[in-house]
Structure 1
Amino acid sequence: MRVKRFQDAKPYEAPNHFAMKGLRLQGFEEGGPEKFWTGLSHFLPGGGAGPDSSPLEKVYVVVAGEVTVRAEGQEVVLGPLDSVCIGGNVVREVVNASNAVATMIVIMPYPEKAA
């Protein structure tokens, strides 16, 4: 069992994100999960990510506030405890269109290492 306290979470930068602060909750550390990592994203009002894609599938779980997610010609507003799974290579966009901070858990597999 590996416990990591919130106070010990380290910030990380995510490409093509704006007005967002990310914290790595689990992963990329000795003794952590072997197949995936978990982050916490705080999106300021007007903040977001994309549009872009990656070869990795991902799960978003909104903890507080709301975010609009656009992918595959669909648009959905997610609120607290709503979640979405986005497949690999799917172009997606995330936007906090509200005036409150939105907080979201992100769960993704590790990127494959270059051969």
Structure 2
Amino acid sequence: MFVKRFAEAKPYEAPNHWGVVGLRLQGFEPGGPTNQWLGLSQFLPGGGAGPDATPVEKVYFILDGEMTVIVDGVETVLKKFDSCTIPAGEIRKIENRTNGIVTMLVVIPYPPGVKP
């Protein structure tokens, strides 16, 4: 078992994101997961990401707040405990359109060719 305390989580900057603080909870360290990494993103009001796509799928899980996800012009509001899968290559944009902070877990496989 590999335990990582929240106090040990390191911030990271995700490209094409604004108004967000990301913390790497698990992944990219010796003894950690070998097939994916787990991040915690905290989006300020007006914060968001995209539009862009990644070469691997990802899962968003909303812990608190409401996040608007836009794919092909269709807007979906994810609320507390809602989740979605974004397939590899799918262009998406996400926006916090509320006055509260959105806290979101992000699960992403390691990119092809990347070994932890």
TM-score (norm 2): 0.95
Identity %: 56
Deviations 1:53-87, CA, capped at 9 Å, x for gaps: 11110000000111000113421101111000010
Amino acid at match of 1:13: E
Structure 1's consecutive aligned runs of 4 or more residues displaced over 6 angstroms after TM superposition are none
TM-score (norm 1): 0.96
Partner of 1:26: 26
User: What CA RMSD, in Å, does the superposition of the two structures yield over aligned residues?
Assistant: 1.0
Partner of 1:75: 75
Unaligned runs of 5+ in 2: none
**What pairs with 1:1-115 in structure 2 (closer than 5 Å)?**
1-113=1-113
Amino acid at match of 2:13: E
Cα separation, 2, equivalents of 1:72 and 1:4: 37
How many residues in Structure 1 have an aligned counterpart in Structure 2? Answer: 114
Cα separation, 2, equivalents of 1:24 and 1:57: 17
